[in-house]
Chains A and B, each alone.
Chain A
Amino acid sequence: MTKVNMTVNGRAVSAEAEGRTLLSSYLREGLGLTGTHVGCDTSQCGACVVLVDGQPVKSCTAFAADLEGAEVTTVEGMANPDGSLGVIQQAFQDYHGLQCGFCTPGMVMSTAALLAENPKPSEEEVRHYLEGNLCRCTGYQNIVRAVMAASGQDAGALAAE
């Protein structure tokens, strides 16, 4: 075991990690940040996506020890400083972009990565970017709507309806 240091949601943190400790375990078990969900644990579903140095990463498919010094943002870091929901989270609530909510942390983090790179994506760009985030509940329509709303665009009409 060695100590691995990172900045998580703007806070300097340190926790023990073995070689095999995944970033998802480091966050959930090491730091108690259980907002990051592990769905498949096989790199397929995207529920575990967090931002590492601003880019989306499947936290079940990265070793904590490989990320010494990294800046990580998890869904806990998406809320406003007063604890109220951030813009993306609020849009998911407003547009019913979730049902069971299991995929939502990954959806929110992938959305954050998308909007940082492309602040006004088209519907097609949203669907393409979220390809690696699987949802078993919503059928995606309301997720796409929520992302359109979060980017300040009209969430009313979607092409596929």
Chain B
Amino acid sequence: MHNFEFVKPSTVADAVAVLANAEAQPFAGGQTLIPSMKARLNAPEILVSLTGIAEMNGVRRDGGALVVGATTTHAAVARDAASHFPALAALAGQIGDPAVRTRGTLGGSLANNDPSACYPAAVLGTGATIVTNAREIAADDYFQGMFTTALDEGEIITSVRFPIPEKAAYAKFLQPASRFALTGVFVAKYASGVRVAVTGASEGGVFRWAEAEAALSSGFDADSIGRLSHPSDGMIADLHGTAEYRAHLVRVMTQRAVRAAH
């Protein structure tokens, strides 16, 4: 790994000031960035740790929303979101393994936008708002394809505001070697309708399944989507599963999520 200067500011303003340098990169749990720096896929000259910034950490209830700070670890979400938004806590508790959950963070996962990551499904599936140092971004505008997001250079996620659903669940079909989702579906029911977001399946990254949303909005019942099938065009195909297999899993995991929703 190339060497770098490590800085740990205590305010968002100080972090953003250092990140104005094009050679600087944000750093949170390091569970994605350290392996990629070892592989020299990333070689920042300055690494700006965000974990010393108190205002970016923690879970807070705000009326009908749950606000999760970007540096809140998966383990902390699994523990602290449980009484407010159990489906989100359960999702966080299934990420990787206990050691990954000790360090990995919500903001790091969303900035990375791995096509098989779990959090993007919850963020898109709830229509959450991504709050950065500069603006607020709707989930529908945020995810722009595999490893691509609406974030600008030097922009950092500070928190995410999740509207708490009436009922929700995340159903993850585990890819046991990587521990990511082979296909995962987050379903959330609101008074205004149902949202369904799918991760792990598409070459375009996380996406909403409109047909299932329409069917579930008129009847929140796993049988109401029993006849739907998702096309396999653009689905990921690798040694773990063909495009057709993943397309099939999209429906199966959506049904499992609907049955599990509470």
Write the residues of chain A forming the contact surface with B, with a CB cutoff of 8 angstroms: 18-20, 22, 41-43, 46, 49, 52, 55-58, 60-63, 65-66, 110, 113-114, 129, 131-133
Contacts and interface: CB of A to CB of B under 8 A. Distances in A.
B19 interface: no
Which of A18, A20, A42 has the largest count of B CB atoms less than 10 A from its CB? A20
Q: Is the interface of B mostly helix, strand, loop or mixed?
A: mixed
Nearest to B100: A132
B96 interface: yes
Given A41-B38, A66-B49, A56 B99 contact: yes
Nearest to B177: A44
B179 A131 contact: yes
A132 B99 CA distance: 7
Contact of B97 (A41, A52, A65, A132): A132
Contacts of B98: 55-56, 110, 113-114, 129, 132
Chain B interface size, under 10 / 10 to 19 / 20 to 34 / 35 or more: 20 to 34
B58 interface: no
B97 A18 contact: no
Contacts of A131: 97, 179
Interface stretch (B27-35, B109-117, B164-172): B27-35
B6 A19 contact: yes
A42 B37 CA distance: 10
B47 interface: yes
A20 B1 contact: yes
